[in-house]
Amino acid sequence: MDLWVPSSVDLTRPSVARMYDYFLGGSHNFAVDRETAKAIEKIYPGMAGAARANRSFLRRAVRYLCAQGVDQFLDLGSGIPTVGNVHEIAQHTNPDARVVYVDVEPVAVAHSIALLAKNDQAVAVQADLRDPDAVLTDPEVRATLDFDRPIGVLLAAALHFVPDSDDPHAAVARYRDAVCPGSYLAISHGSLEGIPHDSVTSGERVQAVYQRTDAQLVMRSTSDIARFFEGLDVVDPGVVLLPEWRPDSDDAYISAYVGVGRKP
């Protein structure tokens, strides 16, 4: 077994974090992840392009927040680090920018810790974003981020892996309430709304494949996605299809909606 694989990892069950790494062309995934990812690609050949488009949105959102003076980031459901990660983007603009990565997947956290070994401004914490109190009281989170100053809370392609039974809207509201005015929330979230019928059918088949993994895929309506921004001032152009949010390249079409909101 590779040294970066924690002994607690179940190598028989696909992981959405490791599958996402595969879609992005990464190497921190296993045969079971690749097999499941390839099953999804047979249904939706554009999945790798969709993953790259999501990373592109994350890059644009972080750059936007940096331009607003934000220099602290809480990346929830951060996944396995790959090129263009949040600390690279933010610290390119501001070398003093601080970043906390949070993920429940042990491989994601183990590799993040190794990657950040020489970076005093960024840390990785193993925690479940569905438990805001555990995240927000974690000693490393508190030591790295100053909650009396604005923080950029990032939930990129994470909330659609949180079922309604875990009340994701309440969890997001808890993070919103924990940060000070001037903080921001950036979200990208999968949806089947507004796409052709045959694409809806494909999306439902993709959801069925994700039932085999460590997290089910929940595609929400635009109104449900917009609810995550309650209590915030949504910045232009609003909650829109991913490629429409301040584009700087020709992103692949992706059935996801995104938005950025500021806490007044």
- Tokens 């009281």 map to which residue? 137
- Tokens 């990657």 map to which residue? 115
Residue 1 confidence (pLDDT): 40
Element (H, E) at 122: strand 122-126
Highest mean pLDDT of the ranges 46-60, 71-85, 220-234: 220-234
Residue 135 confidence (pLDDT): 98
The residue among 133, 22, 31, 39 whose CA lies nearest residue 80 is: 22
| Axis-axis angle for helices 47-67, 86-93 (nearest 10) | 30
Which has the minimum average pLDDT: 2-6, 13-17, 186-190? 2-6
Domains contained in the chain, CATH given? 16-262 (3.40.50.150)
Structure pTM? 0.90
User: pLDDT tens digit string along 139-153?
Assistant: 999 999 999 999 999
pLDDT greater than 70 at residue 174? yes
pLDDT greater than 70 at residue 253? no
User: pLDDT tens digit string along 89-111?
Assistant: 999 999 999 999 999 988 889 88
Strands 122-126, 152-156: pairing is unpaired
